[in-house]
Amino acid sequence: MEIVQQLVNGISLGSIYALIALGYTMVYGIVKLINFAHGDVFMVGAFIGFYSITVLDIGFFPALLISMVACAIFGVLIERIAYKPLRNATRIAALITAIGVSLFIEYGTIYIRGAQPEAYPSGLVPLKSIELFGVKISGQSILILGTSLVLMVLLQFIVHKTKIGKAMRAVSHDMDAARLMGINVNNTISATFAIGSALAGAAGVIFGMYYTKIEPLMGIIPGLKAFVAAVLGGIGIIPGAMTGGIVLGVIEALVSAAGYSLWRDGVAFVVLILILIFRPAGLFGKNVREKV
Amino acid sequence: MLKINDINVYYGNIHALKGVSLEINQGEIVTLIGANGAGKSTLLKTISGLLKPKNGEILFENEQVAGKVAQSIVKRGISQVPEGRRVFSNMSVEENLELGAYLRKDKKGIKEDFEKVYQLFPRLEERRKQQSGTLSGGEQQMLAMGRALMARPRLLLLDEPSMGLAPLLVKTIFRIIEEINQTGTTILLVEQNANMALSIADRAYVIETGKIVAAGTAAELSQSDQIRAAYLGGH
Ligand SMILES: Nc1ncnc2c1ncn2[C@@H]1O[C@H](COP(=O)(O)OP(=O)(O)O)[C@@H](O)[C@H]1O
Ligand SMILES: [Mg+2]
């Protein structure tokens, strides 16, 4: 049953990757930018959640909400200040800017509060673990999975059923055609950053609760892995990011279970290389159709 | 209704429209014909606010709209069916039509217009839930037109609606353009298919390398030897 236990851990971890990967993929879908600062929004989300819980003395769900709202605003600010002026610049210029923004947030955080880690208080949510077919599933795993699931369903609803969601899909498909519909492209891009960043903020709080330790550079590795997850699923494709995240989490857990836990971080990048070689459009990607 | 005075449009240092002037009166079908690369799409994009003219004016119902963003042009009542359809192929027919009505809030009017569009294009109703990327070229053209109509425009800009369609389908599309015009929508029709365009238009302009080189009623231009030699295959 050890393997099932690892599978549950993998899915929990994977759903955190998935939440972060969604922001990567949505932003890429709409402005064709790999937002390398996205992992740092996740970190900021973790800290906002932490301070909400410890300073404001509130529970997990209110902290989650505050972190999501704050990260949404933060994401929009990043887009407006750093990326919008470069919308017509070369992709490499935008990419380099994204790396700059990432470093700025990381070291800005260290400048403001120092580099020391914090620990999320334990027992935030008094959840009992349950036994399922002889496997003990921790309350936290259930909470993570449940929260991630709810957020993903909510995202699917927004993207497919609401006006702003339809505008987002229209802009990501054809910006000029979307303009001809009267869609405000700038606002739609901002909304995309807001939603993606809110999900990263949520992932930050969930991560803090699950792994306890948070610090200013904590966004780098999960950020990179979420990027791999997004590419794995097919960058720009929302269900792809969800699946990519879960698959990556499970692969890592299985590698750990096989006794190679030191190789865990490396595995994500092996996956990236394999995907780029054998299926560059990702699991959900169709054959690439270049726009003429 | 629309009056364009001496506009110049550039792509970087490519001078694409060189002092273009043109006028469209309420209720007309005006066609703009010209060869590939003459600047027809550039003119429509400029009217729609996707491109900004360097100078000159575009007056829509006596208001200056040159350089206004696309959103405000649509809001004023000008919609465009772009060249190559540009339907949102990742979305259903119905969703494409909904997006056409993006700026409208009158639920009842939108519902009526859905019905009108489905009446005009029964094919679209049959394929309501289908991904628009799976439609045939003709169906996509109908969808692009229906989508533009969902904004309830007073001026409809059509960029080469006959492009790539079989002759029979072209006839259908042109008949529908006339129908749309008869319900009170003014039309600016850009075409390379000059024969067809002149057959339904009231007036016409001819554009060559960014300049208007001829203008007149459709009847006059169909009779002109020069135009016939250059655009009507010399018959
Ligand atoms: N995005 C662009 N960048 C640079 N030049 C362009 C662009 N679009 C069109 N042009 C040039 O502007 C001229 C007019 O193009 P266009 O308006 O598309 O012609 P038409 O629609 O009449 O075929 C052409 O010479 C074309 O090469
Ligand atoms: Mg053209």
Q: Which residue of A has its CA nearest to B149?
A: A181
Note the pLDDT of residue B212: 95
Q: For ligand 1, what atom is nearest to the CA of residue B14?
A: 5
Q: Is B185 exposed, middle or buried (0-12, 13-18, 19+ CB in 10 A)?
A: buried
Contact B61, B23 (CB under 8 A): no
For residue B22, give the CATH number of its domain: 3.40.50.300
- Residue among B32, B42, B162 whose CB has most ligand 1 atoms within 8 A, to mutate: B42
Q: Who contacts B83 (Cβ-Cβ below 8 Å, separation ≥6)?
A: B41, B159, B160, B163, B190
Q: Stretch A87-106: mean pLDDT, rounded?
A: 94
**What percentage of chain A exceeds 70 in pLDDT?**
98
Question: Chain A contacts of B90, Cβ < 8 Å?
Answer: 169, 173
Instruction: Give the range of the structural domain holding residue A14, as residue numbers without chain letter.
Output: 2-114+126-218
Inter-chain contact B82–A176, Cβ cutoff 8 Å?
A: yes
pLDDT digits (tens, 9 = 90+) for A5-38: 888 889 999 999 999 999 999 999 999 999 999 9
Inter-chain contact B82–A166, Cβ cutoff 8 Å?
A: no
What letter would DSSP give residue A122?
S
pLDDT over 60 (residue B112): yes
pLDDT digits (tens, 9 = 90+) for B150-171: 999 999 999 999 999 999 999 9
Q: Which residue of B has its CA nearest to A161?
A: B95
Residues in chain B whose Cβ is within 8 Å of chain A? 45, 48-50, 69-71, 74-75, 79-80, 82, 86-91, 95, 98-100, 102-103, 147-148, 151
Decide: helix, strand or coil at residue B188: strand
**What are the residue ranges of helices labelled H in chain A?**
2-31, 38-54, 60-78, 91-113, 139-161, 163-173, 175-180, 185-211, 220-233, 238-257, 264-278
Contact B48, A180 (CB under 8 A): yes
Summary mean pLDDT of chain A: 91
**What percentage of chain B exceeds 90 in pLDDT?**
91
What letter would DSSP give residue B232?
S
Domain membership of residue B102 (yes or no) is no
pLDDT over 60 (residue B141): yes
pLDDT over 70 (residue A288): no
B207 strand-pairing partners: B212
Domain membership of residue B108 (yes or no) is no
- In the block, tokens 């000159």 appear at B56
Instruction: Give the range of the structural domain holding residue B235, as residue numbers without chain letter.
Output: 1-77+156-161+187-235
**ipTM of the complex in this document:** 0.94
pLDDT over 60 (residue A291): no
Ligand 1 pocket residue status of B13, Cβ below 6 Å: no
The C-alpha angle with vertex A80 and arms to A79 and A82, in degrees rounded to 5, equals: 65
Summary mean pLDDT of chain B: 94
Reported pTM = 0.91
Q: Stretch A261-285: mean pLDDT, rounded?
A: 88
Domain membership of residue B136 (yes or no) is no
Domain membership of residue A49 (yes or no) is yes
- In the block, tokens 């042109």 appear at B174
Domain membership of residue B171 (yes or no) is no
| Confidence bin at B229 (pLDDT 50/70/90) | confident
Instruction: Measure in Å the smallest separation between the Cα of B24 and chain A Cα atoms.
Output: 20
pLDDT digits (tens, 9 = 90+) for A191-234: 999 999 999 999 999 999 989 999 999 999 999 999 999 999 99
pLDDT over 50 (residue B235): no
The C-alpha angle with vertex A139 and arms to A138 and A140, in degrees rounded to 5, equals: 90
Q: How many domains does chain B have?
A: 1
Q: What would the two tokens of residue A285 be? A: 């990607």
Decide: helix, strand or coil at residue A74: helix
| Confidence bin at B230 (pLDDT 50/70/90) | confident
B191 strand-pairing partners: B33
Domain membership of residue A287 (yes or no) is no
Residue among B208, B233, B203, B196 at smallest CA distance from B221: B203
Domain membership of residue B172 (yes or no) is no
Residue among B164, B178, B187, B176 at smallest CA distance from B47: B187
**What percentage of chain A exceeds 90 in pLDDT?**
73
Q: How many domains does chain A have?
A: 1
| Confidence bin at A134 (pLDDT 50/70/90) | confident
Contact A44, A74 (CB under 8 A): yes
Q: Which residue among A166, A176, A184 places its CB closest to the CB of B50?
A: A176
B21 strand-pairing partners: none
Domain membership of residue B220 (yes or no) is yes
Note the pLDDT of residue A289: 46
